[in-house]
Structure 1
Amino acid sequence: MEIRTPRLRLRHARPDDLAAIHAVLSDPRATEWWSTPPHGLLDETQAWLGGMLAGNAEGSDDFVIERDGRVIGKAGFYRLPDIGYILHPDHWGQGLASEAVGAAIAHVFATREVNELTADVDPANQASIRLLEKLGFTRTGFAERTWNVGGEWKDSLYYGLTRRAWTARVEGSSARP
């Protein structure tokens, strides 16, 4: 499975993605709001990648993000309907996360019988909140102490995106001159 955007290729993970994925998941900047602390050992990333490979073998909609032939992150759905994404900091601020996440959303709404997608984001992660809202997600809730990451409790903002809202957003953007 592969999705192409103007600058990116989203594809299912492969075992040889280990070093590139480890570069992302071991970076403390990239994992500041991730569900685990930075990976210190390659074995941690190997186990994580193993889960992604197993999901891909079962037809999941979770993808690594390639730019110019190099894996720079992941975007998609480890488990529908919850979207997840992470990008190496060297590629932040260029609209790549929005491009990748938008492509994953479009793919799921085009190929799956799902009417709403969800996201769980740390309230301090303003960049992720902006990305979700740019893609049409709206806030649906809040909960305290939902994730214990490295011994520190994190809160969650919950977001949702309906198929109807996505379709209206896409049709609205294509109708503009």
Structure 2
Amino acid sequence: MLKPDGMPQSPRLRFRLPELSDAAFYQSLMSDPDYIRFIADRGITSIEAARAYIDEKVLPDFEENEGVGLWIIAEKDSDDPVGLCGLVVRDGLDMPDLGYAFHKDHRGKGYAQEAAKAIIAFARSELGLSQLCAITHPENARSSALLMKIGFQPNGQKSLPKIEGIADYFVADLQSLS
């Protein structure tokens, strides 16, 4: 991947790098039962654990992957974090994975779709990528529906290192998406 010059852009949301001061948000998001069920149980049960996760996992991922990862998504009006969205480089996948997770208080507002579309545009224009993939838990119907709504096509299932069980696998041709 090429190191991007900027951040993804969207009308209502601001993308920014995670900071240690985001630990309370991470702890709240990652201890949500839906996050644990559909994404993973990272054991983030305290602010200290969230701070360590940001410092030891999240920020190094951005450095290792040339400036891309899961950005904090904040409302432009309030600057309050509402979720995470970005690109994940995973062992076992041939291309970057569109990933997202939104806090339970901010679901159903169209933020995931808006953020995902911004990531698609960014991946195409800033990174020069022609394809992205995405994975979801097989029982996460909302996430699967969102991916198909924004142009991803189901492409079977994958068993990946560091992920328990089987994931539904989706691929998008970025050149054909608007």
Query: Under a length normalisation based on structure 2, what TM-score does the superposition of the two structures give?
Result: 0.80
Q: Distance in 2 between matches of 1:63 and 1:145?
A: 22
Greater Cα offset, 59-68 or 98-107: 59-68
Aligned twin of 2:119? 104
Aligned twin of 1:156? 167
Aligned twin of 2:72? 64
Evaluate the alpha carbon distance shift between residue 145 and residue 83 of structure 1 in structure 2; reply closer, same or farther with a 3 A threshold: closer
Q: Distance in 1 between matches of 2:99 and 2:37?
A: 14
1:143 deviates by 4.2
Matched, 1:90 2:105: yes
Give unpaired runs (5+ residues) of structure 2. 1-5, 90-94
Letter in 1 for 2:152: F
Q: Distance in 2 between matches of 1:144 and 1:54?
A: 24
Q: State the SS of the aligned residue for 2:151.
A: coil
1:92 deviates by 0.8
Q: Distance in 2 between matches of 1:164 and 1:137?
A: 12
Matched, 1:142 2:157: yes
Aligned length: 162
8 Å Cα contact 1:24-1:72 kept in structure 2: no
Mark the structure with the bigger radius of gyration: 1
Q: Distance in 1 between matches of 2:159 and 2:18?
A: 33
Aligned twin of 2:10? 5
Evaluate the alpha carbon distance shift between residue 86 and residue 97 of structure 1 in structure 2; reply closer, same or farther with a 3 A threshold: same
- CA offset digits 1:89-139 (Å, max 9, x no partner): 111111111111111111111111322111111111000001100110001
1:42 deviates by 2.9
Aligned twin of 1:151? none
Evaluate the alpha carbon distance shift between residue 11 and residue 96 of structure 1 in structure 2; reply closer, same or farther with a 3 A threshold: same
Letter in 1 for 2:130: N
- The share of aligned pairs that are identical, in percent, is 27
Letter in 2 for 1:159: F
Which of 32, 38, 45 aligns to 2:37? It is 32
- CA offset digits 1:129-164 (Å, max 9, x no partner): 01100110001112469732xxxxx33110000122
